Structure 1
Amino acid sequence: MPSDFPSTKSVSTAGMVLQRNRLIQIILAILCAVGCVILINFVNQNWPTVWMLLVLSACMLVALILARANRITLAAMFTVITLTIVMGLMSFAFDGIYDATISAFPAILVFAAMFATLRLFVGLLTFIILILSTVVWVNITGVHVNVVAPVSIMSLVNVVAILMATAFFVWKLASDLRIAVARLETENERIRDALTHIDTLAHNDALTGLPNRLLARARFEQAVELAKRGNDKIALLYLDLDNFKTINDSLGHIAGDQLLCEVATRLKQTIRASDTASRQGGDEFLVIVAGQAEQESVATVAVKIIDLLSEYFSVNGMEISVTCSLGISMYPDDGQDFDALLKHADIAMYQAKERGRNGFQFYDPQMNTNVVEHLHLISGIRTALQKDEFKLYYQPQFDLKSERIIGAEALIRWKNPELGMIPPNKFIPVAERSGQIHEIGAWVIDEACRQAREWMDAGLPPIVVGVNLSPIQFRRDNVERDVMNALEHYNLPPSAIELELTESLLIVESDQISPLLKRLRNLGVHLSIDDFGTGYSNLGYLSRFEVERLKIDQSFIRRMLENKNDEGIVRAIIEMAHSLGLEVVAEGVETAEMLVHLKGLGCEFGQGYLWSPALPAAEFVEFIRTYQPK
């Protein structure tokens, strides 16, 4: 990008050119003045003066040649020294201290100030004083007495010539100074504009023009000073657009930027002049609302923001609906400084997202406790993978008619040395949000295959091991590789493994996973749908995916004897599955009465506490060896 300011090198070059031109102009002016004086003295046959001035003219020609050759310093030194010597000799030879040439010395000093160094200027001044002192001394002592000639036309010519040359020097010097001052003022104005621009960039968001975090912090500190005087409160509203990444990815970053600018415009329209709306980065905004006394008034502001942003945005000719989640922290109740309040508002915002989005949530200290626990779990999961703290428990699955064991569902357990047994419903969601579910899922697949191989080698009857998969695992396309690697590593037939999928995965990710599931099914891996009935149950995806089993969620099984609606749901699921050629597994079978009823409905398989809870691998083997069908 080209700079608005000339470079140091270009400024230096321009200065040298100007100095060279000025020097040539002054030398030419001196030659003109000397030429006029020579002509007058030649007419009057004043030969000593003519000869001295001819010598001076020759020297000036030499200086002119040096200046044209860009030897500026040497030309300037040669000029001032020559002028000083010639003028000194003429004053000594003619009228002494009263000679007209004495008036040339100030012009010589002006010339030296323009072109010479400080050392040369001081030396020249000293030399001139020495010349004058010498002229005076020789006249006082009688060594050489200057006779002052009467005033004549020649006196006027000499003085006028010197005066004109001096006037030319001074005018050029003043002109250069005016140009330099004008340039300096222009540069100063540019620098002031640049500093203003830099200050704007430092305190405002480049895209939306809103204050950035730095300026928001300063505005907050000002609001705190006012709040202390009036015993008021300050609210920090942390705003995040819901599903902005989807809009950005589908419509492009330019459209995303346009949407952010529109959001910023609406925020400025919503708040008061005394409040501050700032962009924190990405699709996150912060609103500082000062002078608030109660949460009710802040809630009104939050609702107003949510409603205004819920109205359609026009981006690239398309109407886009955007929702937002707001987290709110209050000064001084939730913190005394900007960073603490910002963190608490951020925590509350994520809580609002977890509660369904398109809403707001005030900060509560319990949220911070949950966040700390969340961070501890993230760190603990990493350690647990490294130290083999995870274990698989196995709950047997039975053929309801023969009550023979036909398989087992592998269920992960985490026994932390400090916290004890941590239930899966506590750490699995954390692992999914942090991305660690990929490592856990790969470990579960590998461990389940290892255990199946061990049971086969021990001579146990064929057991299909079911492995639960998280929808998050399918977003990296690693599931097929993990399954293939584990089967190959333990030399296990694909039919020994059953992958249990969720309904939400099949609905939301159907286009992405359909080819993958088809390859796994063709390989011989069993597929089933876990917790059927609790998600987006429909027949469309059941016909598209080659699953073999439906697992009815235990919540329906446990209530079917007391609740006719649940009994009707169980009956409908079983009949639907059979009509599609699918087998049914009932989860949560706890009593013999449940077993009888399920048999009557035609359910093929089941698992539950009627037979056994999930067991560690060693106890599971013992259970198999001692179990006898009733």
Structure 2
Amino acid sequence: MGNKIKELLGFEENTPYVKKYLFDANITSSIYMSVVVIVLEIWMILRTLIKYVILSDKSRDFTWIVQHFYSYVILLTMGILMLIYAIKYRKNKEGVSKNLGFGLIAAFSVICLGFGIYISGLDYAGGKQILTFLTMELYVTCLLVWKPYISFIILSATFLFFYNNTIMAQNMEFQTGDKINLFMFWISIFMTSVSIYRQRFDEGSKEERLEAVNEKLEKAAVYDELTGIHNMRYFYENVPEILILSGNKVHDKVFLFLDIENFKNYNDQFGFVKGNEILTNTARLIEKTFEGALVARQADDRFAVLTDWEGAIEKADIVRQNFYSHDDEIYMGLKVGAYRPDDIYCDPRQGIDRARYACSTIKKQYDKNFREYDKKMGEGFFKLQYIVNNIDKAVEKGYIKVYYQPVVWSETRKLAGCEALARWVDPKYGFLSPGDFIPVLEEHRQIHKLDKCIYETVCRDIRESLDKGEKAVPVSLNFSRLDFELMDTVSVIEELVTKYDIDRHYLHIEVTESALTDDMSVLRSAVDSFREKGYEIWLDDFGSGYSSLNVLKDYHFDVMKIDMVFLRSFKENQNSRIIIKKIIEMAYDLGINTLTEGVETEEMVEFLAEVGCGRLQGYYYGKPMPVHDFREKFLTAEDPQQV
């Protein structure tokens, strides 16, 4: 209750924004007040001079004329001063002293109230109404905004002074009804001033909240929420002006694309909180090192800079030398790609894309950290752009082909199934391998278009085999992390199963280990949904990342595909055999079947069969091949199941 009363009377401290809002409101009101005062006082001065001086009206004595004349002049002067200040403040709020404004408003108020008391005292003595006093009270306490307790003090002091020092002091008769009316005027004016204050206060508070929201939205529009540096929208909007201002020295500018290497593995091992610290510190380091340049976070662990070519390489080295992962177990580096614009009209998106492409060419080269885009790279870059721009056309025209690689049982050497792999046979570039287009489509978030095409082709091929009376085999479908983000994977597969009327056991859902280490509730929900509907869930590329054991702890799989990396030095490195054996034993204990990729020799086959690996896949049994060749070799032979 006490707090409510304090709030009602205005004892709470207003925010700087509300204070400014109320001050601005008073300045606006003072403009109207001063204009009215100036007009009225000029009219009263002229009327007094004409009536009592020029026309020699003797109804008033000289003392009365002088008293009124000086009162009009004083109020007029104050009104003019107030109006001049108010207009100047409205034109240039930052360049005009607010303290002077507070002083003028206070002085203007005091003179208005004094004028009202003085003139109404004379009027009442002459048998007239006290309208001037009441008008000035309304002017000061209702048009101007005061805290309620200040309005209370002003009204109480002026009403008491008017009653005691003007009426009672002059022994003028004041009827009981007039006293009641005077008190009622006091109450009414006070309550009106309180109401006006609360209204203006609420308006100011609401505007403050709206401005805070707008400021946050404006900041979000041009600043990266995590790191606090500018985002790419701001970058793209400001590049053209910088390039145009550089004129014929535009070639002295350079786009830089900075990419933190191995950041994902750091995130997987130490979590997103630590990873976000790395990103924030790196952003600040880049902004500090490239002071005065245009710096933005491009996405994830990548940053964009537009700066002067002179010193750019040295500054990039400074960032790299000061960059570290806080942990010696995980190597983290910084790769930088550069592109120098040819003219002032260079598209900023193209500039960054080319710098990014230059960076991508040294991605896995640990002895190279900086690469500038040159004409020789142009062919590769244009190929990249072609892939991104033509994926829809490739799907529509049938340039995307599905190749099948056999999977066999290690014990019987018979066909167990196959894996569906994408190939792009293009009219311009010819045969494109997965390494040419899959990373590009993933980077540009277009991979789901390719994968959806593969899924439909596989289902159609299975339907054709069944219709021909061939014995169809299960097919493993690869799913990227982005597939779960960019489309409803469960709905897509379910619709295809219904469309082609095939059993769910023909499709195996194959998810890479790296995808599962990302903290995505959508992905987990989709995997759970696939399992509930009866699909087998396969873990692909086990052992290729840093979080294999965490994945096994958090998910249940039907089959684990052991990455081919363990077989690369099979002959020379005995440790590979030990690791593979232990992985298979662990999988067996977890109730997971195993498949090893990269099988190329009889020696590998015999070893894997001996240690209990259930399925084998690799060039030893067959390279990925078109559906026609796969059917001819494996599904229509005399012993179609013998590989």
TM range (shorter): 0.5 to 0.7
Give 3-state SS (helix, strand or coil) of 1:391's partner.
strand
Kindly provide the CA deviation profile for residues 526-571 of structure 1, in whole angstroms up to 9, marking residues without a partner as x: 2222233323364453354332223333444464245434344443
Q: 1:324 to 1:561 in 2, by over 3 A?
A: closer
Instruction: Tell whether 2:471 aligns with 1:461.
Output: yes
Using the TM superposition, give the Cα deviation of residue 430 of structure 1 relative to its aligned residue in structure 2, in angstroms.
Answer: 1.7
Q: What are the within-5 Å matches in structure 2 for residues 430-449 of structure 1?
A: 430-449=440-459
Residue 433 (structure 2) aligned to one of 415, 423, 445: 423
Q: 1:561 to 1:183 in 2, by over 3 A?
A: closer
Give 3-state SS (helix, strand or coil) of 1:626's partner.
coil
Check whether the contact 1:349–1:361 (CA below 8 A) recurs between aligned residues.
no
Structure 2, unaligned runs of 5 or more? 1-16, 60-69, 97-217, 327-331
The CA distance in 1 between the partners of 2:42 and 2:333, in whole Å, is: 69
Q: 1:339 to 1:530 in 2, by over 3 A?
A: same
Q: 1:602 to 1:537 in 2, by over 3 A?
A: farther
- Show the counterpart of 2:38: 18
Check whether the contact 2:561–2:596 (CA below 8 A) recurs between aligned residues.
yes
Q: What are the within-5 Å matches in structure 2 for residues 546-625 of structure 1?
A: 546-557=556-567, 559-623=569-633, 624-625=635-636
The CA distance in 1 between the partners of 2:581 and 2:229, in whole Å, is: 61
Out of 538-547 and 335-344, give the one that drifted further: 335-344
Using the TM superposition, give the Cα deviation of residue 299 of structure 1 relative to its aligned residue in structure 2, in angstroms.
Answer: 3.9
Q: 1:373 to 1:191 in 2, by over 3 A?
A: farther
Q: 1:338 to 1:526 in 2, by over 3 A?
A: same
Using the TM superposition, give the Cα deviation of residue 483 of structure 1 relative to its aligned residue in structure 2, in angstroms.
Answer: 2.2
Q: Which has the higher contact order (CA 8 A, sep 6+)?
A: 2
Check whether the contact 2:37–2:76 (CA below 8 A) recurs between aligned residues.
no
Using the TM superposition, give the Cα deviation of residue 502 of structure 1 relative to its aligned residue in structure 2, in angstroms.
Answer: 1.4
- Show the counterpart of 1:361: 370
Q: 1:504 to 1:239 in 2, by over 3 A?
A: closer
The CA distance in 1 between the partners of 2:596 and 2:33, in whole Å, is: 90
Check whether the contact 1:236–1:329 (CA below 8 A) recurs between aligned residues.
yes
- Show the counterpart of 2:54: 34
Q: 1:522 to 1:348 in 2, by over 3 A?
A: same
Residue 383 (structure 1) aligned to one of 376, 386, 393: 393
Q: 1:239 to 1:217 in 2, by over 3 A?
A: farther
Q: What are the within-5 Å matches in structure 2 for residues 134-213 of structure 1?
A: 185-190=88-93
The CA distance in 2 between the partners of 1:215 and 1:617, in whole Å, is: 51
Instruction: Tell whether 2:285 aligns with 1:276.
Output: no
Structure 1, unaligned runs of 5 or more? 40-53, 55-166, 194-200, 313-322
The CA distance in 2 between the partners of 1:185 and 1:510, in whole Å, is: 58
Out of 380-389 and 365-374, give the one that drifted further: 365-374
Kindly provide the CA deviation profile for residues 284-343 of structure 1, in whole angstroms up to 9, marking residues without a partner as x: 6747458x4xxxx5444334445667699xxxxxxxxxx99685758xx76564957996
Give 3-state SS (helix, strand or coil) of 1:620's partner.
helix
In structure 1, give the amino acid aligned to 2:637.
T
TM-score for the superposition, normalised by structure 2: 0.57
Residue 452 (structure 1) aligned to one of 443, 457, 462: 462
TM-score for the superposition, normalised by structure 1: 0.58
Percent identical pairs in the alignment equals 22
Q: 1:545 to 1:377 in 2, by over 3 A?
A: same
Kindly provide the CA deviation profile for residues 47-75 of structure 1, in whole angstroms up to 9, marking residues without a partner as x: xxxxxxx9xxxxxxxxxxxxxxxxxxxxx
Q: 1:567 to 1:388 in 2, by over 3 A?
A: same
Instruction: Tell whether 2:316 aligns with 1:302.
Output: yes
In structure 2, give the amino acid aligned to 1:25.
I
Check whether the contact 1:345–1:363 (CA below 8 A) recurs between aligned residues.
no
Check whether the contact 1:558–1:589 (CA below 8 A) recurs between aligned residues.
no
Kindly provide the CA deviation profile for residues 188-225 of structure 1, in whole angstroms up to 9, marking residues without a partner as x: 544878xxxxxxx9xxx999899x87889878888889
In structure 2, give the amino acid aligned to 1:398.
V
Q: 1:483 to 1:19 in 2, by over 3 A?
A: same
Q: 1:361 to 1:461 in 2, by over 3 A?
A: same
- Show the counterpart of 1:626: 637
Using the TM superposition, give the Cα deviation of residue 344 of structure 1 relative to its aligned residue in structure 2, in angstroms.
Answer: 4.3
Kindly provide the CA deviation profile for residues 383-431 of structure 1, in whole angstroms up to 9, marking residues without a partner as x: 2223332221222222233332221211122112221121112211122
Give 3-state SS (helix, strand or coil) of 1:395's partner.
strand
The CA distance in 2 between the partners of 1:398 and 1:264, in whole Å, is: 50
Kindly provide the CA deviation profile for residues 5-34 of structure 1, in whole angstroms up to 9, marking residues without a partner as x: 789999688646633442243122200113
Give the greater-gyration-radius structure (CA): 1
The CA distance in 2 between the partners of 1:326 and 1:589, in whole Å, is: 34
Q: 1:38 to 1:438 in 2, by over 3 A?
A: closer
Residue 528 (structure 1) aligned to one of 525, 531, 538: 538
The CA distance in 1 between the partners of 2:521 and 2:223, in whole Å, is: 39
Check whether the contact 1:397–1:406 (CA below 8 A) recurs between aligned residues.
yes
Instruction: Tell whether 2:408 aligns with 1:401.
Output: no
Check whether the contact 1:26–1:168 (CA below 8 A) recurs between aligned residues.
no
Give 3-state SS (helix, strand or coil) of 1:431's partner.
helix
The CA distance in 1 between the partners of 2:467 and 2:524, in whole Å, is: 34
Give 3-state SS (helix, strand or coil) of 2:556's partner.
coil
- Show the counterpart of 1:115: none
Kindly provide the CA deviation profile for residues 489-530 of structure 1, in whole angstroms up to 9, marking residues without a partner as x: 223222111112212233334866445434423432122222
Check whether the contact 1:327–1:346 (CA below 8 A) recurs between aligned residues.
no
Instruction: Tell whether 2:514 aligns with 1:504.
Output: yes
The CA distance in 1 between the partners of 2:483 and 2:32, in whole Å, is: 65
Check whether the contact 1:349–1:360 (CA below 8 A) recurs between aligned residues.
no
Check whether the contact 2:359–2:370 (CA below 8 A) recurs between aligned residues.
yes
Q: 1:301 to 1:346 in 2, by over 3 A?
A: farther
Q: 1:18 to 1:327 in 2, by over 3 A?
A: farther
Residue 421 (structure 2) aligned to one of 405, 411, 414: 411
Out of 2-11 and 334-343, give the one that drifted further: 2-11
Q: 1:29 to 1:172 in 2, by over 3 A?
A: farther
Q: What are the within-5 Å matches in structure 2 for residues 18-417 of structure 1?
A: 18-35=38-55, 37=56, 185-190=88-93, 276-278=292-294, 286=305, 288=307, 292=310, 298-305=312-319, 327=336, 329=338, 335=342, 337=344, 344=351, 347-348=354-355, 355=363, 361-365=370-374, 370-417=380-427
Q: 1:13 to 1:385 in 2, by over 3 A?
A: farther
Kindly provide the CA deviation profile for residues 106-139 of structure 1, in whole angstroms up to 9, marking residues without a partner as x: xxxxxxxxxxxxxxxxxxxxxxxxxxxxxxxxxx
Q: What root-mean-square deviation, in Å, do the aligned CA atoms of Structure 1 and Structure 2 show?
A: 5.5
Kindly provide the CA deviation profile for residues 337-384 of structure 1, in whole angstroms up to 9, marking residues without a partner as x: 495799646753676588489996353325665444322211111222
In structure 2, give the amino acid aligned to 1:380.
N
- Show the counterpart of 1:542: 552
In structure 1, give the amino acid aligned to 2:316.
A
The CA distance in 2 between the partners of 1:5 and 1:324, in whole Å, is: 54
- Show the counterpart of 2:198: none
